[in-house]
Amino acid sequence: MRSITVAKAVRPLFGKAPGLGSRRLGLAVTALLAGLPLLTACAPEGATGLESPKMSQIKARGRLICGVEGKLPGFSFVESSGAYSGLDVDVCKAVAASLLGDPSKVEYRDLNSTERFAALASGEVDLLSRNTTMTLSRDSAGGNGLSFGPTTFYDGQGVMAPTGSGINSLKDLAGKPICVESGTTTELNLADRMRELKVPYTPLKFQTSDQTYAAYLGKRCVAVTSDRSQLAGKRTSFPDPSAHTLLPEVLSKEPLTPATTNGDPVWADAVRWTVYGLMQAEELGITQANVDAKLAEAKASANLADLRRFLGVEGDFGRQLGLPADFVVKSIKASGNYGEIFDRNVGPGSRLKLDRGLNRQWKDGGLIYSPPFR
């Protein structure tokens, strides 16, 4: 139901009669205000007043369709059990839990770098959670027209070469072939940086990451370049990971960020604040293991106003987003807080064992930061 002010509703009834309009308007407002509880009681239960074509479609379908890479350890990867795992996968699960109440209601679609934006634009996938860098041209209406959420992994582009090859810097790659996946920021950044250094090289471009790394392992090129996290993840699947070394140079900024399409701001906000909820949960010390205890604590004490609002005990954050009141609780139960997601998939608890670096909480010197839930 569209909301209008009481004054606007009654003004046409009284017009501008001298000396009477204001008095009659005041009496009418008083009468209408007295009847507001009845009007409120007649509103459909659970109505939010928000319209999201995408969220309606997902609910009717009964599952979220999430675009992922599918073959990148740490981010989205199919385990031997057949289940998907990874940081990007956990974002999909959290969003499904927020909207549908069940993290298992996700269908994963593997997309390569040239397919991903078309799949999102066409509606083939609802959400792109696929180690994708947020850039101006991808975000702008005149470019790819994506609506990016919060960055879930701050990365940078790197280069990997065989250990002991004598390649220790970009300048050592002069005149040599470098494997790179086409349709990526990686391809463009490499060209810019080598031109800046005045280092000639031969780019060997491939359509998929599988083709790119197969060519590298097949020694068709002397080095391969991508996001440093991707290089580290792919290296874990090599026959001898220790035989490959990442060069110390970082070529670019690569904020890896989930995205929806422009045109459905309600859906974009639902995704955005679900992810922010995971980040805020870590800051507040709320984990997958203790979220029920924290919820009970919030319900027991009216003095814990911030916690009560965050967990949906009071306030209407969920309604404002078109989500259930306890959407944050559901997402934490599904995936844990951001720190748990990082540690489990790419940090100490994973094969990658990456340092958090820029992905620390802001209070620890990192860039992970949630705006206020206010």
Are 352 and 295 a contacting pair, CB within 8 Å?
Answer: no
pTM: 0.86
Which two three-digit tokens encode residue 326? 């306890």
Percentage of the chain exceeding pLDDT 70: 87
- Among the candidates 209, 230, 252, a domain finishes at 252
Dihedral angle, C-alpha 238, 348, 359, 169, nearest 10 °: -40
Residues 87 and 173 in one domain: no
Residues 207 and 229 in one domain: yes
Residues 36 and 177 in one domain: no
48 band by pLDDT with thresholds 50, 70 and 90: low
Q: What is the 3-state secondary structure (H, E, C) of the chain?
A: CCCCCHHHHHHHHHCCCCCCHHHHHHHHHHHHHHHHHHHHHHCCCCCCCCCCHHHHHHHHHCCEEEEECCEECCCEEECCCCCEECHHHHHHHHHHHHHHCCCCCEEEEECCCCCHHHHHHHCCCCEECCCCECCHHHHCCCCCCEEECCCCEEECEEEEEECCCCCCCHHHHCCCEEEEECCCHHHHHHHHHHHHHCCCCEEEEECCHHHHHHHHHCCCCCEEEEEHHHHHHHHCCCCCHHHEEECCCCCCCEEECCEEECCCHHHHHHHHHHHHHHHHHHHHCCCCCCHHHHHHHHHHCCCCHHHHHHCCCCCCHHHHHCCCCCHHHHHHHHHCCHHHHHHHHCCCCCCCCCCCHHHCEHHHCCCECCCCCC
What does the pLDDT look like over 293-303, one tens digit per residue?
999 999 999 99
Residues 163 and 110 in one domain: no
Residues 266 and 356 in one domain: yes
Domain range enclosing 26:
6-42
Q: Find, among 260, 262, 263, 286, the residue nearest to 273 by Cα.
A: 260
Q: CA-to-CA distance for 60 and 326, rounded, in angstroms? A: 21
Statement: residue 20 has pLDDT above 80: no
Residue 300, domain member (yes or no): no
Residues 351 and 264 in one domain: yes
Are 282 and 288 a contacting pair, CB within 8 Å?
Answer: no
> Mean pLDDT, to the nearest integer, of 170-185?
97
Residues 127 and 267 in one domain: yes
Number of domains composing the chain:
3
What does the pLDDT look like over 315-363, one tens digit per residue?
999 999 999 999 999 999 999 999 999 999 999 999 999 999 999 999 9
Are 138 and 117 a contacting pair, CB within 8 Å?
Answer: yes
pLDDT at residue 49, as a whole number: 62
Residues 209 and 78 in one domain: no
Residues 63 and 212 in one domain: no
Residues 261 and 147 in one domain: yes
Residue 84, domain member (yes or no): yes
Are 72 and 230 a contacting pair, CB within 8 Å?
Answer: yes
Contacts of 72 (CB under 8 A, 6+ apart): 86, 131, 209, 230, 233, 234
Residue 215, domain member (yes or no): yes
Instruction: Assign residue 116 the CATH number of its domain.
Output: 3.40.190.10
Are 141 and 256 a contacting pair, CB within 8 Å?
Answer: no
> Mean pLDDT, to the nearest integer, of 105-130?
98
Instruction: Give CA angle at 313 (53, 36), nearest 5°.
Output: 70
Residue 296, domain member (yes or no): no
Better-predicted residue by pLDDT, 311 or 50 = 311
